[in-house]
Amino acid sequence: MELKQILACWKESIELLKWKNLRLILLASLNNFRRSLITFIKYFGWIALFLPFVKTPITTALWVLCVQFIFILSSRASIEIKNYKYFLTYSPYFWGVFLLCFIFAPIGWISSFFFVDSKNNSRNLVLAFKNGIKFTIYYLPLTTLLFMCSFLYMLILCHLAIISIPLFLLITSIFHLFFISMVGIIFIKFKHSSYNLFFGN
C-alpha cells in the first residue's frame, strides 16, 4: 500500500462527506432502497410469515443471514432482470456471503459485493475479502462513519427486542436494507473510479 495513494483516497472520501456530495449519495441510496424493497417484497415478502417462529438465537441468525443475502442481491447494480431466476442463479453465492458477513462483518458487507460480482469459487472469496479490507483502509474516513452509524442504529433498535423479537427483526431488516443499499451505491462508485486499485494486479 502506498501512503500517497491512501491519503489521496482519504481525501476523496472526505470530499464525499460534504453536503452537496453526500446529498447525492443519500438520494441515490433512497432510490436504490425503494427499488430493492419493491423487489424484495415482490419475490420474498412471504418470508415475513415465518417471523412469529423466529424465537431462538439460531433461527434469528438464520433469518438475518438469509434476509441480508437477499438484500445484497436486490440492491447490487446489475443489468440482469431481478426475478426468481436471477435469485436462483446467485443462490450458490450464499455460502461465501454467509462466511463474509457472519465472521467478518461489517467488512464482510463490502466484501460481499465484490464476491457476487465475480465467479463463485474460494479464490474469488479470498480476493473479495482482501478487497473489502483494502476498500475499508483506503476509504477509512467514509467506512468508519458507515460502520459507526451501523453500530449505533443497531444499538438503538436492539431495545425493540425486549418488546418483541419479530417486531425487532422486521424494523431492523428495513433499516438494514437501506444501509446495504447505501453501501451498494458507494461500492459501485469507487469500484469504477478506483478500478485499478482493486483489480490492477
| Model confidence pLDDT, tens digit, residues 142-174 | 888 888 877 776 676 666 556 666 767 777 777
Identify the pLDDT of residue 38.
Answer: 93
Q: Could you list the pLDDT tens digit for every one of the 201 residues in the chain?
A: 578 888 888 898 888 888 888 899 999 999 999 999 999 999 998 988 887 787 777 887 788 788 889 999 999 988 899 999 999 999 999 999 988 887 776 788 889 999 999 999 999 999 999 999 999 999 998 888 888 877 776 676 666 556 666 767 777 777 778 888 888 899 888 888 888 888 865
| Contact yes or no for 170/164 (Cβ under 8 A) | no
Q: Which amino acid is at 181?
A: S
Q: Which of 74, 78, 63, 73 is nearest to 96 (CA)?
A: 73
Give the per-residue pLDDT at 201: 58
- Per-residue confidence (pLDDT) for residue 95, from 0 to 100: 92
- Predicted pLDDT of residue 163: 61
Identify the pLDDT of residue 133. 92
Q: What is residue 102's predicted lDDT score, i.e. its pLDDT?
A: 75
CA dihedral 175, 181, 183, 188 (to 10 degrees): 180
The total of other beta-carbon atoms located within 10 Å of residue 117's CB is: 17
For 125, residues 6+ apart whose C-beta sits below 8 A from its C-beta are 96, 99, 100, 115
| H helix runs in 76-159, sequence order | 84-90, 94-104, 107-116, 122-138, 140-157
pLDDT of res. 34: 93
Confirm if 76 and 117 have CB atoms less than 8 A apart: yes
The pLDDT of residue 164: 65
Distances (CA, A) of 82 to 33, 64, 86, 142: 14, 21, 5, 29
